């Protein structure tokens, strides 16, 4: 089968499609014929070599950890799903390899009818991450939340999930994305110099939590929150130096070493929440672009431009 991988550090051009052996569903897992799979921004950091001193990498490195498709193998002990079912979900954290013709999923849920294959293919990772951080921040009804980088893959989903919890959401993005953020339920503002003052003007009673999806602004985000314990980042590798928690679900031998923080428990219950919200028309998975597997390098280039609005996906 075809699978996306890279065999050396370097620019996007080192990413390529290779012919590899098909995986099979072991106990407790299922295999899907992939229709679409998510692109992982974190894998661009690994591919570039930026994390070579702190994240052990074995080549070839197979990419992708979430996907959607049609079930074609069911492992021992699995119930409630059968070949032919349409699902979306995630691989085991250390397995990856979802950017391929076939993928083995360790967690899954029925694909919402309201979502296209591209939306479903990029949903699980963003939903799990957003749910994990919102849970850690205990975001609920009546709270005010700042989402830094609200127009990105995780930010767009975090905004909608926080709104569904009854929170008021302020989201940062470039001005060209402000109407888009309003359509998701957030009050937009720009990032950069003057952020603290702009947020205080929008939330004079203060902000209860800050969800950082962008990185690079932790001092300002701590000032907004008034307490570093009320800030969680998924994007800033300087988090520990600022006393801020960096949330990730990577195995201990991967990103955890880079950020000095153990993995948080995966919020897989978020997949069920997503199904319900999608059925109500309250959760979209904005797709920035969909590339065929053979153009995976172009997906890396778009990600590194930091201009993608929503999730980048690969389609089969």
Tell whether 47 is covered by a domain. yes
Tell whether 275 is covered by a domain. no
Tell whether 269 is covered by a domain. no
Tell whether 279 is covered by a domain. no
Predicted pLDDT at 151: 96
Higher pLDDT, 56 or 297: 297
CATH code of 36's domain = 3.90.180.10
Tell whether 107 and 131 lie within a shared domain: no
Tell whether 132 and 23 lie within a shared domain: no
CA distance 300 to 178: 25
- In the chain, the number of structural domains is 2
- The domain in which residue 167 lies consists of 127-259
Predicted pLDDT at 57: 87
Tell whether 66 is covered by a domain. yes
The per-residue pLDDT of the chain, averaged, comes to 94
Tell whether 11 and 55 lie within a shared domain: yes
Higher pLDDT, 292 or 41: 292
Tell whether 221 and 295 lie within a shared domain: no
Tell whether 252 and 303 lie within a shared domain: no
Predicted pLDDT at 257: 52
Tell whether 227 is covered by a domain. yes
Tell whether 45 and 117 lie within a shared domain: yes
CATH code of 182's domain = 3.40.50.720
Tell whether 255 and 157 lie within a shared domain: yes
Question: 208 falls in which pLDDT band (50, 70, 90)?
Answer: very high
Tell whether 309 and 247 lie within a shared domain: no
Mean pLDDT of 222-245: 96
Tell whether 43 is covered by a domain. yes
pLDDT at 294 over 90: yes
Tell whether 305 and 203 lie within a shared domain: no
**pLDDT 10s digits, 159-172:** 999 999 999 999 99
Tell whether 100 and 156 lie within a shared domain: no
Tell whether 241 and 293 lie within a shared domain: no
Tell whether 83 and 189 lie within a shared domain: no
Predicted pLDDT at 306: 82
Tell whether 295 is covered by a domain. yes
**pLDDT 10s digits, 84-118:** 999 999 999 889 999 999 999 999 999 999 999 99
């Amino acid at each position: 089968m075809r699978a996306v991988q890279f065999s050396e550090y370097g620019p996007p051009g080192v990413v390529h499609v290779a012919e590899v052996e098909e995986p099979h569903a072991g106990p407790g897992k299922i295999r899907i014929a992939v229709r679409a799979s998510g692109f992982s921004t974190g894998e661009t950091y690994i591919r570039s070599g930026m994390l070579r001193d702190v994240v052990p990498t074995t080549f070839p490195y197979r990419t992708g950890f979430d996907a959607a498709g049609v079930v074609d193998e069911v492992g021992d002990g699995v119930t409630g799903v059968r070949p032919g079912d349409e699902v979306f979900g995630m691989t085991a954290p250390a397995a990856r390899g979802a950017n391929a013709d076939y993928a083995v999923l360790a967690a899954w849920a029925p694909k919402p009818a309201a979502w296209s294959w591209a939306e479903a293919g990029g949903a699980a990772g963003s939903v799990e991450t957003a749910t994990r951080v919102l849970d850690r921040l205990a975001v609920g009804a009546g709270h005010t939340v700042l989402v830094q980088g609200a127009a990105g893959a995780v930010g767009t989903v975090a905004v909608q999930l926080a709104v569904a919890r009854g929170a008021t959401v302020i989201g940062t993005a470039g001005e060209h994305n402000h109407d888009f953020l309003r359509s998701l339920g957030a009050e937009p503002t720009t990032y950069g110099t003057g952020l603290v003052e702009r947020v205080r003007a929008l939330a004079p009673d203060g902000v209860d939590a800050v969800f950082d999806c962008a990185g690079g602004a932790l001092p300002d985000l701590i000032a907004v929150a008034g307490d570093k314990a009320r800030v969680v980042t998924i994007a800033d590798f300087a988090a520990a130096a600022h006393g801020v928690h960096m949330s990730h679900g990577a195995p201990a031998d991967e990103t955890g070493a880079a950020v000095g923080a153990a993995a948080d428990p995966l919020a897989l219950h978020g997949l069920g929440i997503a199904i319900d919200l999608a059925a109500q028309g309250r959760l979209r998975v904005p797709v920035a672009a969909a590339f065929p597997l053979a153009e995976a390098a172009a997906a890396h280039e778009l990600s590194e431009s930091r201009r993608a609005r929503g999730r980048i996906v690969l389609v089969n």
